[in-house]
Chain A
């Protein structure tokens, strides 16, 4: 039996190879999902933390435990409990310890200098403190480190530079505390031996920077513990903080939920002054991560569904084709007395072997897919990027086993039906040419209509879906399923059209066809059913390719367009301006002289214009102002004011001119005609019933007013969004209107003076010189935004990157399936027709004519399939992409979403498909030229 099976497998190597390809791909895709998910989430979790570190300059991955010992209270159990908790917290929260820092201090008390200095009254309100491991994280600026022993009743201490200067201390100065006493009742004396600072600027040890310890005299941790921490009989008031730093790079995305949960439980449990647990530093980051995680995990899984379905269909069809070829053997076995069970066993063992082999190859291939996913930059576009850390864990193995069971089922199920057939049934049924079941019951048409209905109902719920997405809810998986089902069922429906199209061409030119054409048309028309297998895959390849490319291109391009619009310019920033505020503050205790107000020193904006790569610079002044209503019963309302210099502005902004009915420059020209002219956002007109020509007044926070005249309304304006979405505390999405006034900068500055404005820059794309200048001149910014950097960040987000990766991968997989299907079909078709070709040749047909016959078949099968696939792909894109796009929308979505198809994508797509077909044709050409007439004819004699 086994030998029968092995012979069988060897005999049909093409089939077995494609079956293996299908199985391996199924395995690889199934496994790559959890692998990629884990790796990518790990990366984005780590990135979220490291971004926080980069942006805030603070290490957020730590738990704070706080407790105190109260001298007058003999109970130290609270302190002991927290101390014990600090020992087990890492294992309890499943965190990897990075650094445990214990900070203890006495209450602040007054200390007097014993030096009798005249320059300093010598009374300081300070505390004695100690921090575990301090020695390893400081460097001494002046003086020396404290010693670990008490000499002559004087404790040595070091202080921060701030503390040193604030208190006007000198080195080796001895201070005596008034209230803090030794065990024997004598006053505690300390000697300042040194001034320290942190040894490295970004040392995570310093949860609070050294500069913040403004009243702390650090003494040796051991001395502090021995002298002041007496748990049996408290001798002093002690405050204690444990900073439990953990390594966020070792934090697994799987534990995020439980970590948040446990942290919150602890926080509830310990919320008193004597016992406090605080994890707020990291829970915020984790919660943010969870929202994006939910969205990306479910989206990525759903994106893989169509290709998984296709793979199963592929495996099913190939194994059925194999069975068709094996029916003779099977029927023979059957009539020789093999039981149905025996036959099933053979096929079961065969499928298990195939599955095991695919598992061996599929797992590493899955890992490779992950790496590819990680470097996807767009559809069929890859870049070199730091690779993902891919690991195979239990979850991956489970997915692999699941995929294995699925493929075994798919391979064995058709056998159950066929294994009942004896040789007699087989011969009887051979000449019956029946249509597939799904075609007879119009299953494809029904499913197609269902998907159209689904599409229709989704359009009805579009607004609600958008709100759901903004609330961080999961996307309805049915939407994605619906689009896949639409493409697949449309492909099947289209198959019904192909014979009609061929017939049309055939009959139209019946008289003209040369014999070879004639033969090939008849072959397509009368043997067409056999081609459908190959055509389905070709149609789906092209359709999915176009659809995937469009989805990938659209979400990315819309996100980028949106960023461009929101940012308004390539680079924009607001410099820190020098002003007279220090002077004003210092005089504030006295009477401020009349007419003295806040005055800024305007930096030269022209200096940026000279930098390489900066094409133009525009000054944009922004302030929130208030619009005064003339009639009493109407409320004033808040408006964003944007004051611009029209010429500069027009040259600098990034603005899609199709957003407004006229080019933006037309509006700018109108604005520049009069100094007090303004452009208003359209909601002034729609909700506040302002009209062109109206005069109105807006005022700033100081109460200064400007009167202006309405010259126009705009729906869109660089960086302006008409709606503001925000989540209320109850988790309800709140929408409010944003109002905008665009005014002339000259007018505003004339009325209100020159105040810090933003600079918007247009660059040639190369910003290196700009950054060099900023670094070398040490320009300080209140705000800095680089649109390109922002876009790169978006491309790197798990959701976007994973989407691109999976769409690309699906396409490649479908392409592989398609070429395997294509080759199998044609190889089988040529093998089966060798005799026929021999007859043709014997009748005097030339080799070239046979090849032209095959090419004609190609045109009318593959060609039509590609055409139909294109139509379906474009249709599906137009219908579904606007819905799918919603998943990727953000609260900041400002510009209308467009379905984007890029020519380059299509060229790439058809290039790849064309190349695959050409390669297949070359293989077929070689096969055909090997056929010898006399041998082909002999075949028929057997």
Chain B
């Protein structure tokens, strides 16, 4: 078994709804292996995104711990979580969420600026875009790119500042099967080239094979786990 980069202990999340509490996550205990592609699988509403937000320090759980590199990030102040996000984490969202007023290159470069990247930003941004196969269209605005291309920019942006771990929430949901496979291939390549850890949610069973570690969620509970 590989090193564990991130693990959760008894994470519970609930939201107030009319007439009580809706338990979105119920006692989640998972381990994310370093330098691997981990897939969180489940139907929509099973709690994947909620879990992902907690793992990525975007949201606080009701209770439980999230241990990233020996530190429980749920206990950290917002300011420190911001720094962790900035340096260690990259996000790829289901809805592409590129910054609309910046072109592909600028989107990536902006992530570099934001993380306080020390090297040659121009070179790194181009490198990342090439890595996702977008070397040629880097000066296009997001709305001028196709869905798959936009998602690739988003990936390039997520990896640009060399984070330890990337969270990709349904990155293939809005893409056709072929493009989806392309995206997963890119992830695989990135793991090889940069040694990143990737956590990705999906409900597309066709992509499951690519996973080196797989958790299945149902009604906020882990119902299945598979390792390579």
Contacts and interface: CB of A to CB of B under 8 A. Distances in A.
Contacts of A836: 97, 99-100
Interface stretch (A475-483, A680-688, A707-715, A934-942): A934-942
A265 interface: no
Contacts of B114: 515, 843-845
A843 B143 contact: no
B85 A518 contact: no
18 contacts: A514-B113, A518-B113, A519-B99, A519-B102, A523-B101, A527-B101, A839-B91, A842-B58, A843-B85, A843-B115, A844-B82, A844-B86, A846-B82, A934-B53, A937-B93, A940-B95, A940-B97, A941-B94
B216 interface: no
Given A515-B113, A933-B59, A934-B53, A839 B93 contact: yes
Contact of A934 (B59, B85, B106): B59
Interface string B69-93: 0000000001100110111010101
A860 to B, nearest CB: 14
A937 B95 CA distance: 9
Nearest to B157: A843
DSSP majority for the B interface? helix
A450 interface: no
Contacts, number: 73
A523 B93 CA distance: 22
Interface string B39-69: 0000000000100010010110000000000
A207 interface: no
Given A431-B143, A933-B58, A844 B99 contact: no
Contacts of B89: 844
The 8 closest A-B pairs by CB, nearest first: A844-B86, A940-B95, A844-B85, A526-B101, A515-B113, A934-B59, A515-B114, A839-B97
Interface of B: 49, 53, 56, 58-59, 78-79, 82-83, 85-87, 89, 91, 93-95, 97, 99-102, 106, 110-111, 113-115, 143
A346 interface: no
A522 interface: yes
Interface of A: 431, 514-515, 518-519, 522-523, 525-527, 835-836, 838-847, 933-934, 937-938, 940-941
Nearest to A846: B82
Contacts of A937: 53, 58, 93, 97
A246 B93 CA distance: 86
A940 B85 contact: no
A527 B101 CA distance: 7
A726 B53 CA distance: 87
Nearest to B115: A844
Nearest to A522: B101
Given A431-B143, A518-B113, A844-B83, A839 B99 contact: yes
Given A515-B114, A518-B110, A842 B102 contact: no
Contacts of A431: 143
Between A518, A838, A839, A940, the greatest number of chain B beta carbons within 10 A of the residue's beta carbon is seen for A839
Contacts of A523: 101
A335 to B, nearest CB: 23
Contacts of A940: 93-95, 97
A390 to B, nearest CB: 52
Between B94, B106, B110, the greatest number of chain A beta carbons within 10 A of the residue's beta carbon is seen for B110
Given A841-B82, A845-B114, A937-B93, 10 more contacts: A515-B110, A519-B101, A519-B102, A522-B102, A842-B58, A843-B111, A844-B114, A846-B79, A940-B93, A941-B49
Between A526, A846, A933, A937, the greatest number of chain B beta carbons within 10 A of the residue's beta carbon is seen for A937
B116 to A, nearest CB: 9
A804 to B, nearest CB: 46
A526 B106 CA distance: 13
B143 A835 contact: no
A361 B175 CA distance: 54
A836 to B, nearest CB: 6
Contacts of B99: 519, 836, 839-840
A835 B82 CA distance: 17
B59 A941 contact: no
Contacts of A522: 101-102, 106
Contacts of B53: 934, 937
A526 B100 CA distance: 9
B143 A934 contact: no
A519 B58 contact: no
Nearest to B89: A844
A835 B97 CA distance: 7
B56 A842 contact: yes
